[in-house]
């Protein structure tokens, strides 16, 4: 695996593969890699000749009082994991390389839909940071395909909309949620969970699955289902950010006759914010 810290170096190396007609798959990350990330790398390898991973803890998508400064940075172990998966290139820039003119004057990419609800409502400016850095990374790597996990469902939907709106020649591919043995969705922030909370956090997945099964059984009072789920999470001692039954494409509150529905939830533990989702097709 070759590691590049500069945009010019990575571009020069990748240009040779394009001349040879090889396809490039891309997995953008913030590092602290776990098996979920490695599954994305493996998926990229299955459909592309060359795989590029990036590691960049993007300050632009962190809000005030969020965890940018303490976000786990595990470069050496990340490199070992990527090498073991056969990743071809790692792009590991610093802040100056990605934002040479500083964050305050950085041009922004704004998606006007789907970004002020759910995670966007509780993290103002977050998705502006995501779409800006992802668009920059797409311009740097110029991949044929980019793979994102479904765990970050809203992020996936926003990036798909951005790529469509801006006519980006990148295929946006989703990958299934990778879970711990007890069902908790894998996340770099899971390391924040205290030992006392850890046995209880799977309640988030459980309440979302319960909502999905009730909808499939014919329940149509979505508001009541959401309220019941929030009560369960609260009774387990967690602060609820949201539990929402949404249209899978628009992320607006789902209508009874919507054929594709996604149930999304977010909650706070003592030191972590956890998200999860489950999608279903109504018959």
- The catalytic residue positions are 37
Instruction: Give the residues across from 198 on adjacent strands.
Output: none
Residue in this structure with the two tokens 């969020």, named with its chain if needed: 66
Select from 269, 273, 74 the least CA-distant residue to 189: 273
Q: 3-state DSSP: the chain helix, strand, coil percent, rounded to 5?
A: 40, 20, 40
Cα separation of 276 and 255, whole Å? 21
Instruction: Give the residues across from 145 on adjacent strands.
Output: 25, 171
Quick one: tokens of 21? 């007609």
Residues 154, 30, 189, CA angle at the centre, nearest 5°? 70
Q: Which residues of 102-127 are buried (b: 16+ CB within 10 A; e: fewer)?
A: eeeebeebebeebbebbbbeebeebb
Cα separation of 232 and 218, whole Å? 21
Is residue 253 helix, strand or coil? Answer: strand
Quick one: tokens of 88? 């071809």
Scanning the chain, the segments in alpha helix (DSSP H) are 7-19, 35-47, 75-84, 95-98, 119-122, 126-141, 153-165, 203-216, 222-235
């Amino acid at each position: 695996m070759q590691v590049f810290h500069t945009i010019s170096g990575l571009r020069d190396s990748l240009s040779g593969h394009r001349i040879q007609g090889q396809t490039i798959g891309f997995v953008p990350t913030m590092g602290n890699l776990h098996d979920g990330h490695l599954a994305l790398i493996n998926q990229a390898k299955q459909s592309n000749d060359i795989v590029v991973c990036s590691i960049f803890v993007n300050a632009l998508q962190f809000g005030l009082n969020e965890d940018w400064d303490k976000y786990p940075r595990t470069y050496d172990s990340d490199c070992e994991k990527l090498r073991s998966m056969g990743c071809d290139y790692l792009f590991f820039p610093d802040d100056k390389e990605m934002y040479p003119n500083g964050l305050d004057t950085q041009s922004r990419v704004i998606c006007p839909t789907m970004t002020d609800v759910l995670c966007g409502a509780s993290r103002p400016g977050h998705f502006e940071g995501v779409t800006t850095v992802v668009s920059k990374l797409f311009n740097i790597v110029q991949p044929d395909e980019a793979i994102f996990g479904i765990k970050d469902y809203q992020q996936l939907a926003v990036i798909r909309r951005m790529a469509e709106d801006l006519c980006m020649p990148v295929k946006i591919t989703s990958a299934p949620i990778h879970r711990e043995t007890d069902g908790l969705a894998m996340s770099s922030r899971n390391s924040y969970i205290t030992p006392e909370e850890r046995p209880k956090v799977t309640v988030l997945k459980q309440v979302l699955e319960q909502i999905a099964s009730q909808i499939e059984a014919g329940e149509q009072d979505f508001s009541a289902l959401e309220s019941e789920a929030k009560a369960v999470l609260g009774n387990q001692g967690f602060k609820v950010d949201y539990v929402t039954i949404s249209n899978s494409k628009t992320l607006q509150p789902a209508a009874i006759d919507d054929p594709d529905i996604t149930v999304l939830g977010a909650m706070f533990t003592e030191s972590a914010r956890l998200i999860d989702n489950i999608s279903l097709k109504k018959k």
